[in-house]
Structure 1
């Protein structure tokens, strides 16, 4: 490599710099990939290296040392990616790096703060720090490698460590929110991103923190954003990834897929015995979706969603059900795989277990873990296409390590140019869509029992006891009216054991082939009559429905018939 080319580049000659980069970029890419064995991480390391070389070339005194200089920068970028997860770093007070008592998101944030601080060091300090504290060189070896006096190496290392110490001390002093709890206005997400990114002006930040402390919904969204940031940082392998970069990464992933076709097996395991339902699914941007399936409870069924309308064709009943999709449903239920990953990462720790191959595709194997107090860890294993993030296989395990659910894509085809006609419902002669019975389909909203009481105009019924994990959601049926849905799960189990609904309007959506058996039950201290339906769907054996004082109730789930009939008598008014 000609020294005059390096000299011109150092003086700001962009043409010379371009020639220089063309010469070293292939070598840098090969070296990074050999060390990292991951093209995405290798690309990150090379790009960071080129940026540092460009910004610091003017400080290189010996043009003959250029090759060794840029290779050393690249090697340290690789070490930064590979080894920064270590909690122990020489020269840094151990207590400052201890993440054991931190939540997952705060532990990641601590590492991000550290990474940002390292990135912000002058290059000469940064390289000495990485060589000694991450690569493991001793002071004398670093002095020889950099051709510097031992005292200069010591001085640079001391200043770098001192700067990191101060950064970590300031982070530890920051107050952390610790509140559990669904978002409303869309601009709140942008404000939360600005807040997490640290781009808010001081006055705006203070105002936002005051509003945040008084708004549980914002606090919940903050927690969701942090959970997803945690997952994406591990997914991309980046230590320092800004919110803007994350948005760009997610958008790039979304843009890779224009349409897809897949055949999916969804398997439910009860005491090790599998029940599988197979679906054929098609999707085309922006919002065309179709699924064909068949089960004992529904018979052949085709569901098409397009232009805000959902049509369900039940062939055995020669019946078409029509639902109008709410705007929120269309925006948030748009078959966006990064969004589904966000939901999966919520309230869980996550780690990448490596690259594997399924269906001939390179896939990332991700593990999501949820701590169950007093019982241990409940895991979900997720294999996703490395390029598109589409799910290929997902397995859900209970706290005992037993497989309870599996979703597996048997065939996947991308970007075929699916025709629009595929998303039109071709009905047999004589079958029509009954427009007047159309309802609006809304997304469920998380809700407290206190909030539910206000909407129901009475205290809701709930199942007493502390042995369940309970989730309450509100489903709007008609404008201003809806039903409370309560899911009761045994601690350490992935699937709800029991689902109870209640509301002032009918809200059951029973399979078309179902028949109702009259049964006598006890509810609220008195006898009444209900209807028992044998469902035999995955995770739901029976459903029981009854009416009382103008309100409609249902319960159903994995319970056997005798146990389910006892549930209404156990329900008590919430206080």
Structure 2
């Protein structure tokens, strides 16, 4: 999960939780439609915002820190600068039509044309809210000050029947009273230990951010990789995917209990990208757990690039590890990912479970599978 997507998920969760109390839920539970209306009204009042986010992950006795400077302007402009200690910055910018990602370590730019997006309709909010209310207990613990702003302190605990949270037993969120935006949030595991802490500082809202902030200037000498436009995907069976893919799809021999293959997605940008050197084909395999939502799924992504050097762009971040003797990169924290390569196939495995499970799955994947 990218930092932007992760924050958006937390933002939606926060808006729902605050709307519960703004609606007076301690006396009478509001309907999902009433909460959705309040959320959309609050979001309508915000035209732009910016902040600096400090993220800290605690896992396996190690502490990892990331800083992200972010700004957003309606309807769909954003810019983020991600800084990791000892590594070059990553810069992501979008003017609403083109998204650019710059990797300083490799002096490489990824360019992608964005599909038309009219925004989430009210019905989507209602469905999300209903799912949230069924899966969580929310408690208002009090009011505190965070970075000079008054904030609600909320505690969110997944219900025992919720299968989506194998690693998270509790979330604490400090929410700005004025904007309903999260100023700080913490994740705790089943042992009560803090696993992730995220703090937002220097939050500014409706300052009139100019459009020029979202124009990207290509650095001197940078290599440009044109990814074209990602089209809507089609869900395929494993057999259908194998018939369509131009390479042999690898599958894990081991899956945690309760998980099974759900569907696959194939992306091939040669149909719409004008840059032959940037052509790639990706097969995404989704393994779901019965009774759990898609966010609890295991996702195995396999990509073959026409220009093999492109893969080095994605291998610059993470901890060096080995999978069956093959070098790879592991990123810990709430969203665990593992990258490595078998032959011409570049693999990315995302697992919302314990670290030993992600390595057991990876080690069960071979070119013979």
Q: TM exceeds 0.5?
A: yes
1:324 aligns to 2:110 (yes or no): no
How far residue 235 of structure 1 moved from its aligned partner, in angstroms, is 5.3
Unaligned runs of 5+ in 1: 1-227, 490-494, 522-529
Question: Are 2:300 and 1:500 equivalent residues in the alignment?
Answer: yes
Of residues 318, 327, 338, the one that matches 1:532 is 327
Report the 3-state secondary structure (helix = DSSP H, G, I; strand = E; otherwise coil) of the residue aligned with 1:265: strand
SS at 1:457 equivalent: helix
Partner residue in 1 for 2:143: 356
* 1:406 paired to 2:197: yes
Q: Deviations over 1:519-570 (max 9, x none)?
A: 996xxxxxxxx9523355656585222248xx76554774599867733259
Matched ranges for 1:152-231 at <5 A: none
Contact kept? 1:395, 1:406, Cα under 8 Å: yes
Alignment match of 1:546 (pick from 336, 342, 353): 342
Q: What secondary structure, in the 3-state scheme, does the structure 1 residue paired with 2:39 have?
A: helix
Question: Structure 2: which 5+ residue stretches go unaligned?
Answer: 1-14, 272-280, 290-294
Contact persistence 2:50–2:71 (CA under 8 A): yes
Three-state SS of the structure 2 residue aligned to 1:331 is: coil
| Pair 1:394-2:185 in alignment | yes
Q: What secondary structure sits across from 2:178 in the alignment?
A: coil
Alignment RMSD (CA, Å): 4.8
Q: Take 1:408 and 1:393, find their aligned partners in 2: how far apart are those partners?
A: 4
Query: How far does residue 395 in structure 1 lie from its aligned partner after superposition?
Result: 1.7
Find the residue that maps to 2:160 and give its secondary structure.
Answer: strand
Matched position secondary structure for 2:365: helix
CA gap 1:388/1:230 in 2 versus in 1, 3 angstroms: closer
Q: Cα offset for 1:278?
A: 0.6
Q: Whose strand proportion is higher, 1 or 2?
A: 2
Q: Give the corresponding residue for 1:423.
A: 214
Q: In structure 2, what is the Cα distance between the partners aligned to 1:499 and 1:278?
A: 26
1:236 pairs, out of 20, 23, 26, with: 23
| Structure 1 residue 567 corresponds to structure 2 residue 364 | yes
Corresponding residue for 1:511? 314
| Residue of structure 1 equivalent to 2:243 | 457
What is the total number of aligned residue pairs between the two structures?
Answer: 318
> Is the 8 Å Cα contact of residues 234 and 351 (structure 1) preserved in structure 2?
no
The change in CA–CA distance for 1:367 and 1:537 in structure 2 (over 3 A counts) is closer
How far, CA to CA, are the matches of 1:301 and 1:503 in structure 2?
21
Contact 1:367-1:379 at 8 Å conserved across structures: yes
More helix by share: 1
- Distance between the aligned counterparts of 2:210 and 2:222, measured in 1? 24
Q: Tell me by how many angstroms 1:346 deviates.
A: 7.1
Question: Cα deviation per residue 1:132-154 (whole Å; 9 max; x = unaligned)?
Answer: xxxxxxxxxxxxxxxxxxxxxxx
Asked whether 1:270 is paired with 2:62, we answer no
* DSSP-derived class of the 1:251 partner: helix
Kindly state the Cα deviation for residue 326 of structure 1 after the two structures are TM-superposed: 2.6
* Equivalence for 2:160: 371
**Residues in 2 aligned to 1:243 and 1:302: alpha-carbon distance in whole angstroms:** 37
Distance 1:231 1:380 in 2: 14
Per the alignment, residue 276 of structure 2 pairs with none
Residues 311, 396 of structure 1: alpha-carbon distance in 2 compared, 3 angstrom cutoff: same
Aligned CA distance change for structure 1 residues 331 and 303 (closer, same or farther; 3 Å)? same
| CA distance 1:476–1:413, shift in 2 (3 Å) | farther
Using structure 2 for the length normalisation, give the TM-score: 0.66
Q: How far apart in 2 are the matches of 1:457 and 1:552?
A: 19
Q: In structure 2, which of residues 46, 49, 55 is the aligned counterpart of residue 257 of structure 1?
A: 46
- TM-score with structure 1 length normalisation? 0.45
If asked which structure has higher relative contact order (CA below 8 Å, sep 6+), I would say 2
Q: Return the alpha-carbon distance in structure 2 between the equivalents of residues 451 and 260 of structure 1.
A: 42
Larger-gyration structure (1/2):
1
